[in-house]
Structure 1
Amino acid sequence: MTTPADLRLLAAARQGDVAGVRAALAEGARVEARDAELRSPLLLASLGDHVAAARALVEAGADVNARDARHDSPWLVTGVTGSVAMMRVLLAADPAPDLTLRNRFGGISLIPASERGHVAYVQALLRETAVDVDHVNDLGWTALLEAVILGDGGRAHQKVVALLLAAGADRELADGQGTTALEHAERRGFAEIAALLREA
């Protein structure tokens, strides 16, 4: 049962109120309290990119892999927000984030980050973790495919594609219909990305 202290902790985490987080924990709030959507305080802090609040929760032992009703976790949502600072706070947790944890689409954090053109995040994630650059989600898409299929072909997505290729992404992996990232880029008129994908 959710206690008043739990509710104060959830509210403080959602608002990024570090003092409120610490006060609620001192009052006996459970670090893994959940709201109506099963979101933990750390997930709420991660969604709002409240880095200091997240750090306080991690120090209190919050689970970086705790899932909500939508199968999101604090770690997974960093791929959506693109927050490098939050990514690093969560990487320092013990236990560490599960890099293989999948969202409701079967994707790991790298995939939504690539889709959204979060260049700094993709770069840091590839450099600082052993994330699987060729993970395939439930749609049959890798991060490379998603960056082309759902991206806008602009500078950010061009940089993401270049980073993925430099990290060893397999440009020959096709989607469920057998269409490669290069073919998608050509169909969408993304000349710069197509050029990157043609390079040996």
Structure 2
Amino acid sequence: MHTSTHANDRLLLAAAHRGDTAEIRAALDAGANVESRDGEHRTPLLLAARADHVAAAEILVDAGADPDARDAQDDTPWLVTGVTGSVDMMRVLLAAGPDLRLTNRFGGTSLIPAAERGHVAYVRAVLRETDIDVDHVNRLGWTALLEAVILGDGGLPHMEIVELLITAGADPLLADHDGTTPLQHARRHGFDRIAGLLEAASARAGSRGRETSR
């Protein structure tokens, strides 16, 4: 019985990696553990999320798979969606009730790598559909806004992300560990259009701060 269950777990992991929905159902029906792990401690749901197999993930979520299960690299199915930028996968996993406060090995939420990588649709969706912390600071001392500027290329996707983050309430005056603000980083990189957005946002934030202190 133990050997059979172990074999079914391996079948489930392989099927999730391939996105084979029929095999996923068959493995689960045969008694495979939905939280089984591969050699890198990845669950079937994490494997499906990494490869953006949305239909596979739906089956696994319906079977009770945990969107917060960590692998050896401290990734979770939910956190991986910020890397892939898959809005469809994000929504499937959102239905499973992920902990939006969990962070990856860099101390970042899913929003931060999405901002860095220029995943405009994902950033827009996660800001609209969740209460994720727009000003979360990772271990490098960077917020999503800082990463969009520092690690972005200054092009249209990153400009849109900066605008989305500002609109969602990101603090443009929140500096990195060295005291450098997003605006200062944008100017150093020569990102003139992004600097313009940040300059206006910083002026508004400064004005609100002065009014509050009166």
TM-score (norm 2): 0.91
Q: Whose radius of gyration is greater, 1 or 2?
A: 2
**Partner letter of residue 38 of structure 1?**
H
Q: Matched residues in 2 for 1:133 and 1:117: separation?
A: 16
Q: Matched residues in 2 for 1:116 and 1:110: separation?
A: 10
Query: Is the partner of 1:3 in helix, strand or coil?
Result: helix
* Alignment correspondent of 2:38: 35
Q: Matched residues in 1 for 2:21 and 2:153: separation?
A: 37
* Alignment correspondent of 2:171: 170
**Partner letter of residue 95 of structure 2?**
A
Q: Matched residues in 2 for 1:119 and 1:140: separation?
A: 22
1:183: how far off? 0.4
Which structure 1 segments of 5+ residues have no match? none
**Partner letter of residue 138 of structure 1?**
R
Question: Deviation per CA, 1:99-138, whole angstroms, max 9, x where unpaired?
Answer: 0000000000000000001000000000000000000000
* Alignment correspondent of 2:24: 21
**Partner letter of residue 141 of structure 2?**
G
**Partner letter of residue 33 of structure 2?**
R
Question: Deviation per CA, 1:145-196, whole angstroms, max 9, x where unpaired?
Answer: 0000000000000000000000000000000110000000000000010000
Q: Matched residues in 1 for 2:63 and 2:152: separation?
A: 38
Q: Matched residues in 1 for 2:125 and 2:154: separation?
A: 21
Q: Matched residues in 2 for 1:34 and 1:132: separation?
A: 30
* Alignment correspondent of 2:207: none
* Residues 132-143 of structure 1: pairs in structure 2 closer than 5 A: 132-143=133-144
Q: Matched residues in 1 for 2:137 and 2:74: separation?
A: 17
1:4: how far off? 0.6
Identity of matched residues, %: 69
* Alignment correspondent of 2:86: 83
Q: 1:58 aligns with which of 61, 70, 91?
A: 61
Segments of 4+ moved more than 2 angstroms: none
**Partner letter of residue 110 of structure 2?**
S
Q: 1:71 aligns with which of 74, 77, 97?
A: 74
* Residues 153-192 of structure 1: pairs in structure 2 closer than 5 A: 153-192=154-193
**Partner letter of residue 50 of structure 1?**
H
TM-score (norm 1): 0.98
Count matched residues.
Answer: 198
* Alignment correspondent of 1:92: 95
Which structure 2 segments of 5+ residues have no match? 205-214
